[in-house]
Structure 1
Amino acid sequence: MCRNIKPLFNFDPPATEDEIQAAALQFVRKISGFTKPSKANEEAFNQAIMEVTLVAGKLLESLVTNAEPRNREIVIQRARAGYAKRFGTESN
């Protein structure tokens, strides 16, 4: 599950709220062990996602770096090249 969490800091354009929430969802799924919680745990699960999203957003806003922002398109191209090399196929 956590393999889907991608670095979100120092990108141009910055990470969106949706990207931060998707990472929070993956994190909560991983630590809870639930892909989809039962009705009894749904409220706690959703509350955790909301809180992790807020904290992650605050973290990203407070971090500083002197490095140049990474270009999303270049990162995607490099990942696709790595997938093709690793698995011998083209990835879209």
Structure 2
Amino acid sequence: MEYTGYVEPGGYDQVVFRGRRDTREFIAFWLSGGRVLAGMNVNVWDVTDPIRALVTSGQAVDASELADVDVPLTQLLNHPDATG
């Protein structure tokens, strides 16, 4: 399990899960205003760098795409529908 970013208690308005919580292989993202504040990967490897990039970009992301395991995390950066 790895955690990237920082969220103050109550400082988020949405949690998005990507993957399968039932098998404990997922990423949880904490968002505020559509922007990723933090991410925690559980038994999902090689995603720390893209999670960090999403957090530091300050860019809004589409929550449905963030939850979709078929959409690469790197594709969410500079997405044409994102505002930031």
Normalized against structure 1, the TM-score is what?
0.25
Name the structure, 1 or 2, with higher relative contact order (CA <8 Å, separation 6+).
1
- Higher share of residues assigned strand: 2
Higher helix share: 1
